[in-house]
Chain A
Amino acid sequence: MTNFLPDQSFYPSPQMAMQAVPEKLAHVAMLNPNPGSPDAMAVVDLDPASKAYGKVIHQLDMPNAGDELHHFGWNACSSCLCPYSPHPHMERRFLVVPGLRSSRIHILDTKPDPRKPRLVKVIEPEEVKRKSGYSRPHTSHCGPDGVYMNALGSVDGKGPGGIFVIDPQTFEIKGAWEADRGPQYLTYDFWWHLGHDTMITSEWGTPDMVENGVNPELLLAGKYGHALHVWDLHKRRHQQVLEMGPEYQMALELRPAHDPSEAYGFVGVVTSLKDLSASIWLWHREGSSGNGAWKIRKVVEIPAEAADPELLPPLLKGFKAVPPFVTDINLSLDDRFLYVSCWGTGELRQYDVSDPFNPVLTGSVALGGMVRRQAHPKQPERELNGGPQMVEISRDGKRVFVTNSLYRTWDDQFYPDGIRGWMTMLDADPSGGIRTDGGFLLETENLRPHQVRLQGGDASSDSYCFS
Chain B
Amino acid sequence: MFYRESGQFKASYAADQAVFPIRQDQYGIAAILLVAFFVIPYMGDEYFFQAIMVPVLIFSLAAIGLNILTGYCGQLSLGTGGFMAVGAVACYKLTTAFPELNFIIVLLLSGVITAMVGLLFGIPSLRIKGFYLAVATLAAQFFLSWLFNKVAWFQNYAPSGTITMPPREVFGVLVTGAASNAMHRYLFCLIFVIVLAMAAKNLVRGPIGRSWMAIRDMDIAAELIGFRPFQTKLLAFSVSSFYVGVAGAMALSLWLGSVETAEAFDINVSFQVLFMIIIGGLGSMMGSFLGAAFIILTPIVLTNVMVGSLGFQAVTAKHFEFMFFGGMIIMFLIVEPQGLARLWQILKEKLRLWPFPY
Q: Do A and B come from one complex?
A: no
The chain A residues found within 8 Å of chain B, CB to CB, are none
Which B residues form the contact surface with A (CB < 8 A)? none
